[in-house]
């Protein structure tokens, strides 16, 4: 019996909140959970080198089927020996299946049983993506964790639309499994949909769990719904997911949502937020968000965050970073991106420590107080 490519090891459960401390083992190394995964859409986590990412402790990064299919093309990445070789990253890689990106990047799309017809967001060409095509691309990329091809419906969505969408996503998941060429080298995660409807989340989970994927994601969230809706959906969805497999909440990356997701049993998170807001000079700090272009930092020679020990905070001042960002100096983007990624990667390290000490609830209250989140 060959070893399965993805294995989840549950280390302990927080006595105060039920959050889990675990390890995910992959063909390209293991990483502890709960974990925040930096996003590298175009085969690079923008402005970060692999050495930067290793230095900050990243054990897994994300990339994307849709983007790499269009540029440079999955064939070129395959000829390079796969994405790990192409981008010189020897740790774990997870690729999203492209479904979400089609909906968020492209207009003029039609969804059919066979797949999705849409236009290339770069040049308007007609394109078609199906479960089989998405699996072929991820196979060429050689990612350690692939995502099933799914539909992420808009929020809000009518119950009837959502029911039809969930049933099609389940049929697509089965087609992905059938099209899976290397089940012993690449793990394939199913994505649970169903919006805010408990009955549909149950149906989606039941369909996908019966297909025995090595891991599962909660999709269809972080699409504009209020935070309390996300938390409620997680409360009735994570218990439906196998406890001995990884649970991945897609597209979630604000500090409060990471902590609240971990408390509700989520192990893996990703979001473009930290790198995206870094590029316009918005920083996450232990006292809340800081907009470094603000004139009040012109003569502030302290670090972005005095409680942060990252490369940026140990070596550069708010005044200097404000100057670089205002002058569009690319070094400024590196410094702000590094800090924001480090902030979330380090936050999850502190979450894991709080779980070890059975005090994640206290940690949440302290963090929310300092950061300025309300504490419902």
Ligand X SMILES: Nc1nc2c(CCNCC3CCCC3)c3[nH]c(NCCc4ccccc4)nc3cc2c(=O)[nH]1
**Closer residue to ligand X, CB minimum distance, 39 or 205:** 39
77 binds, among ligand X, Zn ion, none (CB under 5 to 8 A by kind): none
Q: With beta carbons less than 8 A apart as the criterion, state whether 38 and 58 touch.
A: yes
- Catalytic, 270? Answer yes
**Residue 179 binds ligand X, judged by CB under 6 A:** no
With tokens 């920083």, the residue in question is 283
Stretch of 265-273, 312-320, 332-340, 359-367 contacting ligand X, by CB under 6 A: 265-273
Q: Any idea which residue has 């994307």 for tokens?
A: 64
Helix ranges (DSSP H) in the chain: 50-55, 65-70, 74-79, 83-86, 99-105, 131-141, 159-178, 198-209, 227-237, 255-263, 273-278, 311-315, 318-326, 330-356, 360-371
Task: Mark the segment that binds ligand X (CB under 6 A) among 21-29, 271-279, 281-289, 301-309.
Answer: 271-279
Among 92, 217, 308, 348, binds Zn ion (CB under 5 A): 308
Binders of ligand X in range 44-103 (CB under 6 A): 62, 64, 96-97, 99-100
Q: Which stretch binds ligand X (CB under 6 A): 4-12, 147-155, 229-237, 289-297?
A: 147-155
Cis omega (within 30 of 0) on the bond before 72?
A: yes
Query: How far is residue 224 from each of residues 36, 100, 220, 228, 250, measured CA to CA in Å?
Result: 20, 14, 10, 11, 13
Give per-residue burial for 342-374: e unless 16+ CB within 10 Å, then b.
bbbbbbbbebbebbeeebbbebbeebbeebebe
Least distance in Å: CB of 290 to Zn ion? 11
Bridge partners, 268 (sequence order): 35, 248
Q: Which does 251 bind (CB under 5 to 8 A by kind): Zn ion, ligand X, none?
A: ligand X
**Choice between 104 and 350, CB closer to ligand X:** 104
What's the min distance (Å) between Cβ of 321 and ligand X?
22
**DSSP character for 39?**
B
Letters for 322-351 (x = contact with Zn ion by CB under 5 A, - = none) are -----------------x------------
Long-range CB pairs of 294-303, under 8 A, 24+ apart, other chains included: 294/322, 297/322, 298/322
Q: For residues 84 and 95, is the Cβ–Cβ distance under 8 A? A: no
- The site string for ligand X over 225-264 (x = CB under 6 A, - otherwise) reads -------------------------xx-------------
User: How many residues belong to the site for ligand X (CB under 6 A)?
Assistant: 24
> How far is it, in rounded angstroms, from Cα 192 to Cα 179?
19
Distances (CA, A) of 187 to 135, 143, 153, 202, 219: 11, 8, 24, 23, 17
Smallest distance, ligand X to C-beta of residue 79, A = 22
Structure tokens at 231: 């938390």
129, 263, 313, 351: residue in contact with Zn ion (rule CB under 5 A): 313
Selected catalytic residue, list 96, 140, 150, 207:
96
Min dist CB 65 to ligand X, Å, is: 9
| Catalytic residue check, 212 | no
Residues 6+ apart with CB under 8 A from 370: 286, 287
Site string for ligand X, 188-227 (x = CB under 6 A): ---x---------------------------xxxxx----
Closest distance to ligand X from the beta carbon of 178 (Å) = 19
Residue nearest to ligand X (CB): 251
Mind telling me the catalytic residues? 96, 270
Site of interaction with ligand X (CB under 6 A): 39, 41, 62, 64, 96-97, 99-100, 147, 150, 152, 191, 219-223, 250-251, 270-273, 276
């Amino acid at each position: 019996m060959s070893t399965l490519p993805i294995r989840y090891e549950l280390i302990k459960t927080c006595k105060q909140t039920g959050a889990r401390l675990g390890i995910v083992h992959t063909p390209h190394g293991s990483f502890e959970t709960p974990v925040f995964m930096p996003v590298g859409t175009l085969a690079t986590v923008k402005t970060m080198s692999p050495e930067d990412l290793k230095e900050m402790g990243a054990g897994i990064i994300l990339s994307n089927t849709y983007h790499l299919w269009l540029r440079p093309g999955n064939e070129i990445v395959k000829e390079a020996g796969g994405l790990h070789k192409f981008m010189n990253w020897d740790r774990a890689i997870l690729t999203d299946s492209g479904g979400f990106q089609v909906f968020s990047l492209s207009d003029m799309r039609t969804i059919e049983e066979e797949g999705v017809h849409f236009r290339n967001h770069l040049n308007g060409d007609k394109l078609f993506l199906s479960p089989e095509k998405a699996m072929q691309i991820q196979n060429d990329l050689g990612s350690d964790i692939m995502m099933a091809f799914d539909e992420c419906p808009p929020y809000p969505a009518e119950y009837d639309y959502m029911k039809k969408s969930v049933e099609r996503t389940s049929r697509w998941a089965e087609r992905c499994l059938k099209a899976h060429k290397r089940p012993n080298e690449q793990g394939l995660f199913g994505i649970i949909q169903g919006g805010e409807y408990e009955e549909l989340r149950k149906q989606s989970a039941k369909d996908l769990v019966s297909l025995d994927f090595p891991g599962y994601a909660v999709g269809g969230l972080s699409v504009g719904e209020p935070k309390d809706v996300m938390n409620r959906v997680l409360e009735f969805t994570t218990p439906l997911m196998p406890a001995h497999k990884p649970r991945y909440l897609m597209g979630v990356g604000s500090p409060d949502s990471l902590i609240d997701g971990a408390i509700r049993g989520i192990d893996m998170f990703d979001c473009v937020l930290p790198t995206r807001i870094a590029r316009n000079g918005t920083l996450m700090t232990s006292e809340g968000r800081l907009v470094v272009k603000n004139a009040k930092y012109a003569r502030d020679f302290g670090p972005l965050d005095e409680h942060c020990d990252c490369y940026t905070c140990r070596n550069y001042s708010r005044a200097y970073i404000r100057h670089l960002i205002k002058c569009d100096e690319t070094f400024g983007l590196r410094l702000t991106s590094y800090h924001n990624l480090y902030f979330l990667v380090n936050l999850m390290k502190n979450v894991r420590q709080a779980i070890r000490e059975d005090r994640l609830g206290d940690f949440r209250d302290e963090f929310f107080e300092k950061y300025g989140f309300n504490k419902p």
